[in-house]
Chain A
Amino acid sequence: MSDRTLRIAGLVVLIGFAVLVPFVFGPYRVGQFTLVAAYAVAALGLNLLVGYNGQISLGHGAFFALGAYTAALLIEKANLPYLLTVPLAGVLAFAVGYVFGVPALRLRGLYLALVTLALAVATPQLIKRFDGLTEGTQGMTVEQPESPGWLPLADDQFLYLLTLVVAAIMFALAWSLMRSQVGRAVQAVRDEEIPASTLGVDLASTKTRVFALSAGYAGVAGALYVFAIGFVAPEAFTVTISLAFLAAIVVGGLATIVGAVFGALFIEFVPVYASDVNDALTGVIYGGVLILAMFLLPGGVAGLLRRIRELVARRPAEEEVRRPAVATEGRGVPAGKT
């Protein structure tokens, strides 16, 4: 049995489970899964940038926030139909990501990490600064989508399935993109930058576009988040969420499409379990589990699934992607320097 068959089977199970969720669980749990779907889209965007393109961003929460506030404002103040806000949030985040990317991507590794981290830190401040628009520290309640009368679905079920459909579209898009010529160029930039450029890949333009695309994904995720939670405030968009997205893609599996799903499940459910176990030691448990996950799953959950597939098929899995080697600048001390 081929690896391909196994992967299709796995995908069928995953999709089957995903579709059944709203009919099997109560509204609270379904709400959690809805949020997972939103986070998965953001994580996927980040993975395109970090896993596939070899760059780094510690600030994707900023684009997530941008998408969320765009959707919130369009729904509450411009009375736009909520569905329309999803692509609009994505496009705006794409544009801002592009504008940010042009200068930012002249930096590499650590310095890019720093600049994106600064963006994440500044996001709540910027939201508060423009409080005429954003309602600032009080936050803004947003009307959530309701199940249309002609569908026999409860509100939470409808919302979940809607989010699932949008997420599925985003995933399919990413998957087909990474398999195409463009995707190969993206990964070439990550793996062998100099040869790639000598072969005609426009490095700067590729990097900026990937950055913008990943920002766009985060923006779409932000809009989905607003549907799920119905409220935006600066406290929801601190550095924590940016770092959570990073943790999600590493736990899920860098440079994989499906990894984003597992990463999103991790960052949504593990903190809740950790605080259920002991509310005085939440962080100890969550941090510990995170470290343990790195020990046990060096390739993320997707890497683990790959191993399982190899065992079942009794042959090495398809060479999907090469191991990503994220560039860090100046490892150690270059010779002749204090």
Chain B
Amino acid sequence: MERFIQVIVDGIATGSIYAALALALVLIFRSTGIVNFAQGEMAMFSTFIAWGLYAGGVPLGLAVLTTLVLSFVAGMAIERGLIRHFEGGEVLTLVIVTLGLFILLNSLAGWIWGFGNRSFPSLFGDSTFDVGGVQLTWESIGIVGVLLAVVGLLFLLFQRTKIGLAMRAAALNPESSGLVGVRVGRMLMLGWGLAAALGALAGVLVAPRLFLDVNLMGSVLIYAFAAAALGGFDSAIGAVVGGWVIGVTENLAGTYVDFIGADLKILVPLAIIFVVLLVRPTGLFGTREVARV
């Protein structure tokens, strides 16, 4: 029984990794309507910047905070300077732009910081403790706490503030919102800035466990994508729950179902998503769309 609970707890810890990046994906989707392939690489790049600051002597907390701010600015700059040009056009063109950005950032990070891996300190320390035979780490608890806090903040932002309302309007119907005075361009920039900052946060949360190298987020991206999809692409809490569901089912399958094994365990969450989407086509927490003929 202990083992079972441990597997679930570990699954939530791993799932939180996916959820962290998934939140950034969801935020981009909610503000600009596309999936940003480069989200993971942006997060990785930000994490390297944080590492650089920390290695240069800046205390960890300050380094992380600075990185969040820098990432926010960079996200806005990318939207204004690059993405803006393609908005409103063919979606696939923009998707390929983000793919190009992915390749570019990965290579640039390698050129600047090298391709080897290095450690990254945990914001929550290293210690573990035991609760009734189940091992927990402060780090995992910290990550879960941060995720829930972010979900809460996003809820407040989008549902309770004017800016949040403006962002939602700009995403849903740019033309009409522009007519009623919403600065659509500004809202898009804000969305990208926030998502970039969220991505940076995801990076510094997961790097201690995964170790920092240029491929830090490459493998996480598809899981984050899956988590966001499971939760319904426009729901922040959905992304987090989706991440946990994926982490837990993957771990359960890997532990208890022998013929799946470690190599095919990625198929388990995907099978789950498949089934969920067949029943609820817009994900667990997403909104149903009605098409006007």
List residues of chain A with CB under 8 Å of any chain B CB. 50, 103, 106-108, 110-111, 113-115, 117-118, 121-122, 125-126, 128-129, 194-195, 239, 243, 246-247, 250-251, 254, 280-284, 286-291, 294-295, 298, 323-326, 328-338
The answer to whether A294 and B263 have CB atoms under 8 Å apart is no
B107 and A282 contact, CB distance less than 8 A? yes
B58 within 8 A of A: no
Chain B residues contacting A332 (CB-CB under 8 Å) are 30-33, 168, 170-173, 234
Q: Which B residues are CB-close (under 8 A) to A284?
A: 104, 107-108, 111
In the bound complex, residues from chain B placing their C-beta under 8 Å from that of A331 are 33, 171-172
The 8 A CB mask of B67-82 against A (1 = contact, 0 = none) is 0000000000000001
**CB closest chain-A residue, reference B214:** A283
Cβ contacts under 8 Å, A328 to chain B: 33-34, 91
Among B90, B104, B168, B263, contact of A333 (Cβ-Cβ < 8 Å): B168
A329 close to B266 (CB less than 8 A)? no
Residues of B within 8 A of A290 (CB): 96-97, 99-100, 103
Q: Is the CB of A334 within 8 A of B234?
A: yes
Measured in the bound complex, the distance between the Cα atoms of B229 and A117 in whole Å is 12
In the assembled complex, the CB of B279 is this many whole angstroms from the nearest CB of chain A, namely 10
Q: Is A251 a contact of B111 with CB atoms below 8 Å?
A: no
Which of B1-9, B45-53, B122-130, B270-278 binds A? Answer: B270-278
- A294 to B83 CA separation, bound complex (whole angstroms): 11
- List A contacts of B266 (CB < 8 A): 118, 121-122, 125
Task: Decide: A118 and B89 in contact? CB cutoff 8 A.
Answer: no
> Chain B residues near A298 (CB, 8 Å)?
89-90, 93
In contact, B234 and A118 (Cβ under 8 angstroms): no
Check A288 against B104 for contact (C-beta < 8 Å).
yes
Known: A111-B277, A329-B233, A329-B282. A254 touches B172 (CB 8 A): no
Interface residues of B, Cβ cutoff 8 Å to A: 29-35, 82, 85-86, 89-97, 99-108, 110-111, 155, 158-159, 168, 170-173, 222, 225-226, 229, 233-237, 261, 263-264, 266-267, 270, 273-274, 277-278, 281-283, 286-287, 289, 291, 293
Q: Which residues of B contact A195 (CB under 8 A)?
A: 293
Q: How far in angstroms is the closest Cβ of chain A from B272?
A: 11
- Pick from A50, A128, A281, A333: contact of B92, CB under 8 Å: A50
Known: A115-B274, A118-B266, A283-B103. A334 touches B289 (CB 8 A): yes
Q: Are B233 and A294 in contact (CB under 8 A)?
A: no
In the bound assembly, the distance between CA atoms of A169 and B94 in angstroms comes to 32
Query: Complex: how many Å from CA A291 to CA B111?
Result: 19
A117→B226 CA distance, assembly (Å): 10
Nearest CB of A to B224, in Å: 11
Contacts of B236 on A, CB cut-off 8 Å? 338
The interface residues of chain A lying within 8 Å CB-to-CB of B108 are: 281, 283-284
Binding site of A, secondary structure by majority: helix, strand, loop or mixed?
helix
A333-B234 contact, Cβ under 8 Å, with A115-B270, A298-B90: yes
The interface residues of chain B lying within 8 Å CB-to-CB of A338 are 155, 158-159, 235-237
Who on chain B is nearest to A56 by CB?
Answer: B92
Query: What distance in Å separates the Cβ of B266 from its nearest Cβ neighbour in chain A?
Result: 6
Closest chain A residue, CB of each to CB of B108: A284
A110 to B159, CA, bound (A): 25
| Interchain CA distance A287-B105 in the complex, whole Å | 8
Complex Cα distance, B90 from A294, in Å, reads 10
Contact yes or no, A287 B101, CB < 8 A: yes
**How far apart are the CA atoms of A291 and B267 in the complex, in Å?**
32
Q: How far is the CB of A80 from chain B (nearest CB, A)?
A: 30
Q: Tell whether, in the assembled complex, residue A337 and residue B103 are in contact, meaning their CB atoms are under 8 Å apart.
A: no
Contacts A118-B267, A125-B263, A334-B289 given; does A291 touch B226 at CB 8 Å: no
Chain B residues near A128: list those with CB within 8 A.
263
Check B107 against A281 for contact (C-beta < 8 Å): yes
Which of A117, A286, A287, A324 counts the most chain B CB atoms within 10 A? A287
Cβ contacts A to B, 14 pairs, < 8 Å: A110-B35, A118-B270, A128-B263, A129-B261, A250-B92, A284-B104, A284-B107, A284-B111, A290-B96, A291-B101, A323-B90, A326-B92, A330-B29, A330-B286
Q: Which residue of B lies closest to A284 (CB)?
A: B107
Q: A118-B266, A250-B96 are in contact. Are A194 and B281 (CB under 8 A)?
A: no
Chain B residue, CB-CB nearest to A243: B99
Query: Contacting A335 at CB < 8 Å: which of B34, B35, B100, B172?
Result: B172
**B96 adjacent to A247 (CB under 8 Å):** yes
A337 to B97, CA, bound (A): 29
Cβ of A275 to closest chain B Cβ, rounded Å? 10
Q: Which residues of B are found within 8 Å of A287, using beta-carbon distances?
A: 99-105, 107
A324 to B93, CA, bound (A): 11
With a 10 A CB-CB cut-off, give which of A246, A326, A331, A336 has the most chain B CB atoms.
A331
> Hey, which chain A residues are within 8 Å of B237, CB to CB?
338
CA of A323 to CA of B277, assembled, Å: 29
Selected from B103, B225, B287, the residue in CB contact (under 8 A) with A330 is B287
Question: Which A residues are CB-close (under 8 A) to B286?
Answer: 330
Which B-chain residue is minimally distant from A195 (CB atoms)? Answer: B293
Q: State A95–B264 Cα separation when bound (angstroms).
A: 23
Residues of the B chain whose Cβ atoms lie less than 8 Å from the Cβ of A281 = 107-108, 111
Contacts of B110 in A (CB 8 A): 280, 283
Contact A110 B233 (CB under 8 A): yes
A250 touches B93 (CB 8 A): yes
User: What's the least CB distance linking A130 to chain B, in Å?
Assistant: 11
Whole-angstrom distance between the Cβ of B108 and the nearest chain A Cβ: 5
Cβ–Cβ contact A283 & B93, under 8 A: no
